[in-house]
Amino acid sequence: MRAARFLVFYLFAILIFQACGKEEIDDKKPEIDINFSGAFPVNCDTIYFGEPYLFNAVFKDNAELGAYSIEVHHNFDHHAHSTEVTVCELWPVKPAVNPYVFIKSYSIPSGSTVYAPNLEMVISTGNANGEFDEGDYHFFISLTDKEGWSTQKGLSIKILKREL
C-alpha cells in the first residue's frame, strides 16, 4: 500500500512539473534595418524643407514588435549620439534661432515580427516664428518590442532649403 501511495504521488508530481513547463522568455532586442537599397534616411542623407520624403526602414523582432518613434532635432552644437560608423561633414557650430523639432510615436500592427513603415513625411518650411534653420540635424529612430526591449538608431542628416 505504501508503494502504491508513493507511486501515485510520484506520477502526480511528474504531471504537475510537466504542466508547469518553462515559458519562453523574450530577451532579445528588436532590430532597425536601414542597410538595404531604398532605405531612407541613412547617415549623411539630406532632406529638403517642404518636399515629401519616404521614411523607409525595416523593423524586426523575434517575438512581436510594439511601437516606434521618430525624433528630429538640430545638431548645430555638434553634440553626438549617432549610432553609425560613418562620420558626416558638419557645418560650423552656430546658434539655433528657429530650429525644426519633430517627435512622434507610431503603432505597429499587433502580431507583427517584421514591419516596414514606408511613412511619407514632409518638413514644413517654417512656423509662426519664421523659416526653420537649415543645417545639421539628428534623425533618431527608437523601436520597442511588446516585452519592452528597445533599440535606437541615431542618424546625422542635413535639412536644407532646395536651391532652385
Whether 59 is in a domain gets the answer: yes
- pLDDT at residue 150 tops 80: yes
Closest by Cα among 55, 72, 78 to 155: 72
Whether 32 is in a domain gets the answer: yes
Q: How many domains does the chain have?
A: 1
Whether 64 is in a domain gets the answer: yes
Q: What is the pLDDT of residue 17?
A: 55
Q: Summarize pLDDT for 54-70 with one digit per residue, the tens.
A: 999 999 999 999 999 99
Whether 11 is in a domain gets the answer: no
Q: Summarize pLDDT for 91-141 with one digit per residue, the tens.
A: 999 999 999 999 999 999 999 999 999 899 999 999 999 999 999 999 999
Backbone angles phi, psi at 160, to 5 degrees: -130, 165
**What CATH number corresponds to the domain at position 98?**
2.60.40.2550
Question: What's the rounded mean pLDDT across residues 2-28?
Answer: 60
Q: What is the pLDDT of residue 164?
A: 73
What is the pTM (predicted TM-score) of this model?
Answer: 0.83
Q: What is the pLDDT of residue 21?
A: 53
- pLDDT at residue 13 tops 60: no
Q: What is the pLDDT of residue 14?
A: 57
Measure Cα distances from 32 to 28, 136, 146, 150 in Å.
13, 22, 15, 10
